[in-house]
Amino acid sequence: MPNFSEKKTSIKSLELLSSNTITQADTRSVRSDSHVSSSVSVKSDQSKGRVPNFSEETTQTKWLQYETLDPDLQSHRNHKNFTDSLLQIFQDLESKIITFLKKELEKFKKILQKEDMEYFVKDFNENRCSMKEAALDLTLYFLREMKQDEAADALEDELFIIHQLKCSLKKKYQCVFEGIAKQGDSTLLKNIYTDLYITQGCSEQVNTEHEVRQIEVASRRHESQEIQVECKHLFEAPEQDKQIRTVLTKGVAGIGKSVSVQKFVLDWAEGKENQDISFIFPLPFREMNLKEQDKLSLMDLITQFFPETEGLNLIRRNQFKVLFILDGLDECRLPVDFKDNETWSDVSSPVSLDVLLTNLIKGNLLPSALIWITSRPAAASKIPPDCIDRLAEIRGFNDAQKEEYFRKRFTDENQAKEIIDHVKQSKSLFIMCHIPVFCWISATVLQNILEEKRNNVKSNTEDTPKTLTQMYTHFLRFQIQQSRRKYDGEHTPDVSWDKDAIFSLGKLAFDQLERNNVIFYDTDLEACGIDVYKASVYSGMCTQIFKEQTGITLGTMYCFVHLSIQEFIAALYAHLFLDINKKYMFDQDSTEQENKSETMIDLLKTAVDMSLESDNGHLDLFLRFLLGLSLQSNQRLLQGLLTHEDDNDKSKKEIVQYIKQKLESNLSPERSIHLFYCLNELNDQTLVKDIQTHLSKGSLSSADLSPGQWSALVFVLLTSEEELEEFELQKFKKSDECLIRLSAVIKTCKRAL
């Protein structure tokens, strides 16, 4: 970026124009081409003493006449004629310079007034030449001479730092890699972006329940009961007298938090939205973790992530909006200690990253800055409620947006309709499609299955998946198969499994799931026996399941594409561990297990108990996958990887009965619904069909239902294809128990009679 500390060159250029003695050499330099290449800076040696020629043909002719005069005649030339000619030349020159400067000054004024700023900034930077730079040099010089440093600084920042920052962010955020961040073909975000359903909440609503449980609850809410907010308007207060400084946006893994950030930043960088914001700095926690041990000033942190901001002084920008986007609080490995961290307000002095971030959020550091934090729900409670001005929840796709996603992804309308119809047939699959990443997984699997059917490819695949476990098992098979075809040239329908690699990957998934971590680093891999120097083997083996990512700060991070994939791989690891060690991996260090050989049913019963004992249901989805993987149909898809010798049918009957016994106890509605989804993974719908029979006969009003049947009734009503606009409670047995049992249903309908 040009240095504006000295403006002597431009002033000297103008002084040359007013010189009383003009030699032929002087006149030739003035006559030089006015369209100077932008590669020649006004501060370079080549440009010193050179002034753009604004003369037209009439003026140039006079110069030529003057130049071609006989030297002897010049000495006798009438002094008055000489003066008149020179005066005319400088009048023309003055007019040209003033007109040019007026136009440039008008542009600079509009930039500072934020009037169509993007156009003027782009015009200046794309059509930069020595004349325009000289005009800017003069403007900045005289603004500072007039003690208008604030205006000079603002103009300088707008034309250089902000423009370069926007160019950099546009380049980074204009493309999206669905599911993966490093491998595969990128797609322009604008081509596949589907609006997400975002609702406004309050800080008391921070929820620590497992994400799948929240999705299932959210899928039953009526949109008319909620306040919807557009992502681009997050910082707009509904009341004029209220100011929103800090926004916390929560949402489950894969629901679209980071894509929302990407769209927000891209719209700003392209000059479409939120142009009242001068600077946007997206700072992902997964990359900031790599600076955990460093001491940095706020300016150091910004410069490391955004080198183009070198020289920016944020302190002088209090009159402009600056937005920090702290993306992925759930991935943060810092203490985030709001209570005991010291107060810090100096943007230029180094301090620990944790102190830096907590003070930035609290407003002690750069209080004028806007803060946008994104987080999974369980981690959202790390931010004190009094630090949050607005809480919003990204709910992913509503039902209409789910269909829109599949239609955008598949240009073949018939194929899109076929996939939409299939997903709708399974309530659990359709509910999970609230998550954009799950839509991507489903689309990948179903597209491959349809292509195989069309090509009459014989494979081990069963019917088109109807449960979560079937979907994820197919997904794993297809990704491994695709990888083998790409790297090893294998084209057989069977999959050759690298059992050691999957076992190590599974141990990582399970260990980090217990710690509630979704981002891993070298030390995490080493603890699971994974050689970090060979980590690319794992990301290469299944490129769309496990990924390796290098951040801006040149550190390496690893993660599964989505939390649900991590939970699936963890469940697969549990089965592998049982296969190899004849015991389950819970309480691996317990001496009681040393000489005890455990069976499949021991593993499943223990997992059911642990899931029900969990306050936030963090093992719910893990349990569903664990149960689903115990079925022979799914194990057949994993042939060569799992080698159970147990009687699967006997194990299935025993665990189904065990779950039904649990349903007879007084469980909460959400716990009961979870167990019905577990039965669904085991392909058992006996309780549900029993209740559906009662409903069709209209005999429930007088029937004495067991706790398990009451739970089944609630599950059937909540997962019905038809939304409950009005719920007629009087159709059922009139009692306090009825009211309590059906409270979950009443909450989700618009009216209850």
Tens digit of each residue's pLDDT (9 = 90 or more) over 503-517: 988 999 999 888 878
Tokens of 417: 């309709």
| Number of H-type helices and E-type strands within the chain | 34, 15
Q: What is the pLDDT of residue 11?
A: 36
Domain total in the chain: 4
Shared domain for 369 and 406, answered yes or no, is: no
Establish if 460 belongs to a structural domain: yes
Establish if 303 belongs to a structural domain: yes
The rounded Cα 611 to chain-centroid distance in angstroms is 30
Shared domain for 235 and 383, answered yes or no, is: yes
Of the candidates 52, 56, 59, the one whose C-alpha atom is nearest the C-alpha of residue 13 is: 52
pTM exceeds 0.75, yes or no:
no
Picking from 472, 487, 502, the residue at the C-terminal end of a domain is 487
Q: What is the pLDDT of residue 28?
A: 34
**Burial profile 416-442: b = 16 or more Cβ within 10 angstroms, e = fewer:** bebbbebbeebbbbbbbbbbbbbbbbb
Q: What is the pLDDT of residue 724?
A: 54
Shared domain for 261 and 138, answered yes or no, is: no
Shared domain for 222 and 369, answered yes or no, is: yes
Tens digit of each residue's pLDDT (9 = 90 or more) over 149-190: 878 877 777 777 888 898 889 988 888 765 444 444 567 777
Establish if 566 belongs to a structural domain: no
CATH no. for residue 362? 3.40.50.300
Most confidently predicted of 22-36, 244-258, 642-656: 244-258
Shared domain for 129 and 81, answered yes or no, is: yes
Picking from 427, 454, 487, the residue at the C-terminal end of a domain is 487
Q: What is the pLDDT of residue 128?
A: 61
Establish if 55 belongs to a structural domain: yes
Shared domain for 66 and 90, answered yes or no, is: yes
Q: Cα–Cα distance between 195 and 679 in angstroms, integer? A: 34
Establish if 455 belongs to a structural domain: yes
Of the candidates 152, 64, 738, 572, the one whose C-alpha atom is nearest the C-alpha of residue 728 is: 738
- CA dist 719 to 449, 668, 715, Å? 27, 17, 6
The answer to whether 664 and 706 are in contact (CB under 8 A) is: yes
Q: What is the pLDDT of residue 47?
A: 37
Of the candidates 622, 600, 743, 614, the one whose C-alpha atom is nearest the C-alpha of residue 678 is: 622
Q: Cα–Cα distance between 4 and 10 in angstroms, integer? A: 11
Shared domain for 17 and 127, answered yes or no, is: yes
Runs of H (alpha helix) within 397-467: 399-409, 413-425, 427-432, 436-454
3-class DSSP assignment, residue 201: strand
Shared domain for 362 and 225, answered yes or no, is: yes
Q: What is the pLDDT of residue 104?
A: 82
Q: Cα–Cα distance between 616 and 206 in angstroms, integer? A: 12
Angle between helices 436-454 and 413-425 (to 10 degrees): 110
Shared domain for 204 and 353, answered yes or no, is: yes
Establish if 209 belongs to a structural domain: yes
Shared domain for 316 and 339, answered yes or no, is: yes
Of the candidates 115, 93, 412, the one whose C-alpha atom is nearest the C-alpha of residue 271 is: 115
Establish if 188 belongs to a structural domain: no
Establish if 64 belongs to a structural domain: yes
Shared domain for 343 and 218, answered yes or no, is: yes
What one-character-per-residue DSSP string does 74-86 give? HHHS-HHHHHHHH
Q: What is the pLDDT of residue 53?
A: 46
Picking from 459, 487, 515, the residue at the C-terminal end of a domain is 487
Q: Cα–Cα distance between 566 and 515 in angstroms, integer? A: 13
Shared domain for 719 and 738, answered yes or no, is: yes
Instruction: Compute the C-alpha angle 628/629/631, nearest 5°.
Output: 75
Query: Where in the sequence is the domain holding 481, given as residue range(s)?
Result: 400-487
- Read off the pLDDT band of 6 (50, 70, 90): very low
Tens digit of each residue's pLDDT (9 = 90 or more) over 570-596: 999 999 998 888 887 776 555 555 556
